[in-house]
Structure 1
Amino acid sequence: MSDWRRWDPPVLGLPRAAFRPSAIFLALVGLFALSGLMAWHQVTPRLAVFLFVVSGWLVSLCLHEYAHAVVAYRSGDTDVAHRGYLTLNPLKYSNVLLSIILPLLVVVLGGIGLPGGAVWVDHAAIRGRLRKSLISLAGPATNVLFTLVLVIPFAFDPDVFVHLEFWSGVALLAFLQLTATVLNLLPVPGLDGGNALQPWLKPNTRRMYDVLAPYGFILLFVLLWEPTVNRYFFDAVYAVGDLLGLDRQLYALGFDLIRFWQR
């Protein structure tokens, strides 16, 4: 039977705690809701927008990595449950620096949704190239979903000036999700887009890919540092944002607000 039709059930016998959302994730969701309410009512608005965007971004990171893990689990790597990846606990990720701290710094200082390298998947336990590609694509799919959910309110043309701080935070979050989607899908070794292609490469090319994969983030920074590539990248992101109805001035305001220490 071809691998796209076969979907092995997970191994039974794991404790329920392996699948239960962690207290840390629930606290992030609570902070996201509370700070959104604060921004809506303009309670310490700059700090509120900062907390709203940061907690929302962290929630999206948790769900991004959870998507990788749950598809890997359903595809045969049941060890992801033992490693705690299905609890949505960001502290369980294989590299907290690359998965949480670095992307968060880039969000706050650069206004870019940087993808993070987090869950470790035992590819030897995964049978079939299509499954391996789907595991890699599951994370960016959550960013696409987040982007669409966040831009839906703007389709109804809300009066953003009534709750300007809140809507600027929503617009910035949508922009961050959009940049994360595009970056994740770039065919760069080590990123999700490259990892989705890796199983389909010829053996010699795959070996070269595996050598370059640990340096994917460095390659990404080098690419974005190059002025022409940087311009094409942001032109593409801005064009998609315009198509989705995102107001550039609105998410620029959101970026200004989250850097509350500058004023």
Structure 2
Amino acid sequence: MSTKERQGISPIFLGIVAVMVVSGWALWAGWGSSPGFVTFVAVTFGWLVSLCLHEFAHESSAALFYDKRPGQRRLTGPYLNPLKYTHALLSIVLPVLFVIMGGIGLPGGAVYIERGRISGRWKHSLISAAGPLTNVLFAVVCTAPFWLDALDGVPVTFRFALAFLALLQVTAAILNFLPVPGLDGYGVIEPWLSYRVRSQVAPFAPFGLIAVFGLLWIPEVNGVFFDAVDALLRGLGVSEFETYCGLDTYRFWQEWFGDQDPWCAVRA
């Protein structure tokens, strides 16, 4: 591969960013006859951007720690290509389905890392933490306009969409830091566990993601979790009403069945 071929950002990622920006601008400008559909596009592609950054954070941090033996793989461009270093189903399709089905931001867990080329337990922990830390930074960016009071005069549909995208980032960060096999939180502590414990837990890793999502369908668990998420977002200036209406507007297909909250529709 030539030096020229290794440089630059992936056109796929740039295309995802372009759709996010254009649809976000459409919400800001009040363009389009269906704010619900535009919200769906803007939030979904914003979520895809965060997924790309999440997985790339794992890969790029791992590349910093790879041994430098001749002929070994390096991190090469085009960068941020989600099809290059992730599993399309586990890292892209499933997280998007989780958002559509439950309004929950839960990144997948299938980035390709050559763990055998990295020595040092703290390095492995840092690589696992890099993904959810990216969601933390994304959440700070999404909530900044709220806690800076910079949204005066902004169309409420844009505010709703941004609030919902912020909620997805917060839920992604919290859930991914859980010490559950298959999630990044377990990856942080795994290097510090004994070989026997890791061997016993390993068979359950493929089911951790689905198990967490399933638990969140239990009303009592869901209520406690989102109470904590709402409290955190309130501290960042985002109200529960805004995230609720963001989700309600995001599900534009509810208009067809008359299931959308009329209050959110009126405010929009």
Q: 2:62 aligns with which of 72, 83, 92?
A: 72
1:143-162 equivalence runs, <5 A: 143-159=135-151, 162=154
Partner of residue 232, structure 2: 240
Contact 1:137 1:196 (C-alpha < 8 Å) held by counterparts: yes
Change (3 A) 1:241 1:138: same
Match of 2:186 in 1: 194
Report how far residue 160 of structure 1 moved.
5.4
Q: Is the 8 A contact 1:160 1:167 kept in 2?
A: no
Contact 2:121 2:191 (8 Å CA) reproduced: yes
Q: CA 1:94/1:26 → structure 2, altered by over 3 Å: closer, same or farther?
A: closer
- What TM-score results when the alignment is normalised by the length of structure 2? 0.86
Q: Contact between 1:93 and 1:99, CA under 8 Å: does it hold in 2?
A: no
In structure 1, the gaps of 5 or more residues are 1-12
User: Aligned residue pairs: how many?
Assistant: 249
Name structure 2 gaps, 5 residues minimum: 256-268
What is the 5 A alignment of 1:81-96? Answer: 81=75, 87-96=79-88
Q: CA deviation at 1:108?
A: 2.0
* Range 39-48 or range 89-98, more displaced: 89-98
- Relative to 1, partners in 2 of residues 1:159 and 1:70: Cα closer, same or farther, differing over 3 Å? closer
Name the structure 2 match of 1:115. 107
Q: What's the RMSD between the two structures over aligned residues?
A: 2.0
Hey, what does 1:37 align to over in structure 2? Answer: 25
Q: Deviations over 1:74-111 (max 9, x none)?
A: 010663636x7x62112224421111111111112311
Check whether the contact 2:90–2:110 (CA below 8 A) recurs between aligned residues.
yes
Q: Deviations over 1:141-166 (max 9, x none)?
A: 11000101111111132455641011
Task: Look up the equivalent residue of 1:260 and give its one-letter code.
Answer: F
Query: In the alignment, which residue of structure 2 is the partner of 1:24?
Result: 12
- Residue pair 1:136, 1:196 contacting (<8 A) in 2 also: yes
Asked if the contact 1:69/1:80 (under 8 Å) is kept, the reply is no
CA displacement at 1:184 relative to structure 2: 0.4
Aligned to 2:160: 168
Contact 1:111 1:176 in 2 (8 A): yes
Alignment check: 8 A CA contact 2:182 2:207 kept? yes
Structure 1 position 59 matched with structure 2 position 53? no
Q: Which residue of 1 aligns with 2:130?
A: 138
User: Which has the larger displacement, 108-117 or 119-128?
Assistant: 108-117
The aligned residue for residue 10 of structure 1 is none
**Match in the other structure for 1:47:** 37
Query: How far did 1:224 drift?
Result: 2.3
Q: Quote the offset at 1:194 in angstroms.
A: 0.5
Q: Give secondary structure in 1 for the equivalent of 2:75.
A: helix
Q: Is the CA contact (8 Å cut-off) linking 2:230 and 2:239 kept in structure 1?
A: no
Residue 40 of structure 2 aligns with an amino acid whose one-letter code is F
Which amino acid in the other structure matches residue 216 of structure 2?
L
